[in-house]
Structure 1
Amino acid sequence: MKLHAICILYKGGTKVQTLKSAYDLSSFGYFQKSSAQEFMKFTSQIVVERTQPGLRQSVKEKDYICHVYVRSDSLGGVAICDHEYPPRVAFTFMNKLLDQFANEVPSGTWPSIPEDGAKFTGASHFLTEYQDPSKADAMTRLQKDLDETKVIMHGTIESMLERGEKLDDLVEKSDALSSQSKAFYKTAKKTNSCCVIQ
């Protein structure tokens, strides 16, 4: 999962202007970095321009997804990520980012801020903090923990079989199972064994 760019834009005048942006271009080659950054900035301006205030949307562009949110006050945010980055996390942090920007930078100054010239350090901070969505988002972290638990459980079953123990032997030796349960297990095994292709 990779978060490539975060842009804060203003859609108030005749053209959309970038107020502040932050980029992680580490996955691009040296000679591609400036072109990639320009393309991301250009794409951000286009998607904000074509998004109505109050709406959120995700736009696919080649190997990337642009998650865009434009507030009712015409302040917009764009997160450019790979396809694996969870959209819910992108929209959640964009909401926080735009709120923080609006609190620190007065709205009356937005139209006069030069291109990418807002005095705001939050974009770089959010880009770093949300690079790993599982660290910043409780739901993603929970899903990751559940996936790891599932892998550990599968590993435990496989390791038990590697030691040469058979489930049949464990069922037969078990004091915890009634004779009726043992009989059910044997019947189920015989019924299912007819379907095994060897």
Structure 2
Amino acid sequence: MKLYSLSVFHKGVSNKARLLKAAYSLSSFGFFQRSGVQEFMTFTSALLVERSPAGSRASVQEKDYLCHVHVRDGGLAAVLIADAEYPQRVCFTLLEKALDDFSTRVDTSASADWPSVSAESAAVQAYKGLDAHLSRYQNPREADALTKVQAELDETKVILHDTMESLLERGEKLDDLVAKSEHLAFQSKVFYKNARKKNECCGIM
């Protein structure tokens, strides 16, 4: 069982997802693959946030991976990418903890004005909590034994999507979103395009 990335976004009124902070554990990937894999994880996470309504939780299965997202009513959202064996309940416990910790330690105002907070702000730059959470939760049994799961969390229905394509609106294509993405470098887009032509798995996709 493995966790690969944990990220926090803000979803604005235009549904655009802004990455605020992220942590990655990519040692299982080849050295030269890691930058491309990280970019695709960021792209996938942003897409999940943008396509998930406020107040929702969802999981998307893609190949051997499960991507979990929790979007709060205020627009603050977290995404966790794990392998398919990692327990879903523990994933959502971690997302809830990460959002609580981030909002408590980064936001200094009572109004939680997240649109004014950027990834470059001093408080976000100084925050290292996501790395600690990602490391601690690599062993789900150990982490979950120390966590009280809120009853309302267990009762909330999680929407499960079979593929990334199932998140898209009618007429949309994943290839087009990749081409337009601000999260992907030119080299990653070329790699994705070539991998799709060969019908191979492209990193996290």
Question: Is there any run of 5+ residues in structure 1 with no aligned partner, and where?
Answer: 141-198
3-state SS, counterpart of residue 27 of structure 1 = coil
Q: Which amino acid is the alignment partner of residue 8 of structure 2?
A: I
3-state SS, counterpart of residue 47 of structure 2 = helix
Task: Decide whether the 8 Å contact of 1:3 with 1:24 is kept in 2.
Answer: yes
RMSD (Å) for aligned C-alpha atoms: 2.0
CA deviation after TM superposition for structure 1 residue 60, in Å: 1.1
3-state SS, counterpart of residue 25 of structure 1 = coil
Task: Decide whether the 8 Å contact of 1:12 with 1:111 is kept in 2.
Answer: no
Taking structure 1 as reference, are residues 22 and 83 closer, same or farther at Cα in structure 2, changes over 3 Å only?
A: same
Taking structure 1 as reference, are residues 72 and 109 closer, same or farther at Cα in structure 2, changes over 3 Å only?
A: closer
Runs of 4+ in structure 1 displaced over 6 angstroms? none
Question: What residue in structure 2 maps to residue 89 of structure 1?
Answer: 90
CA deviation after TM superposition for structure 1 residue 111, in Å: 3.6
Q: Which amino acid is the alignment partner of residue 23 of structure 2?
A: A
Question: What residue in structure 2 maps to residue 48 of structure 1?
Answer: 49
CA deviation after TM superposition for structure 1 residue 61, in Å: 1.8
CA deviation after TM superposition for structure 1 residue 104, in Å: 1.3
| Percent identity for Structure 1 against Structure 2 | 48
3-state SS, counterpart of residue 84 of structure 1 = coil
Taking structure 1 as reference, are residues 51 and 42 closer, same or farther at Cα in structure 2, changes over 3 Å only?
A: same
3-state SS, counterpart of residue 90 of structure 2 = helix
Which of 128, 133, 143 pairs up with 1:121? 128
Question: What residue in structure 1 maps to residue 61 of structure 2?
Answer: 60
Larger radius of gyration: 1
Q: What is the TM-score of this pair, normalised by structure 2? A: 0.64
CA deviation after TM superposition for structure 1 residue 49, in Å: 0.4
Q: What is the TM-score of this pair, normalised by structure 1? A: 0.66
Alignment of 1:153-168 (within 5 A): none
CA deviation after TM superposition for structure 1 residue 22, in Å: 0.2
Task: Decide whether the 8 Å contact of 2:64 with 2:84 is kept in 1.
Answer: yes
Task: Decide whether the 8 Å contact of 2:21 with 2:119 is kept in 1.
Answer: no
> How far apart, in 1, do the equivalents of 2:113 and 2:137 lie?
29
> How many residues end up aligned between the 2 structures?
140
Question: What residue in structure 1 maps to residue 145 of structure 2?
Answer: 138
> How far apart, in 2, do the equivalents of 1:102 and 1:65 lie?
25
Taking structure 1 as reference, are residues 81 and 115 closer, same or farther at Cα in structure 2, changes over 3 Å only?
A: farther
Query: Does residue 113 of structure 2 align to residue 108 of structure 1?
Result: yes
> How far apart, in 2, do the equivalents of 1:139 and 1:19 lie?
27
Q: Structure 1, residues 122-143: CA drift from partner, whole Å, max 9, x if none? A: 1000000001101111299xxx
Q: Which amino acid is the alignment partner of residue 92 of structure 1?
A: T
CA deviation after TM superposition for structure 1 residue 62, in Å: 2.1
CA deviation after TM superposition for structure 1 residue 109, in Å: 4.9
CA deviation after TM superposition for structure 1 residue 18, in Å: 0.7
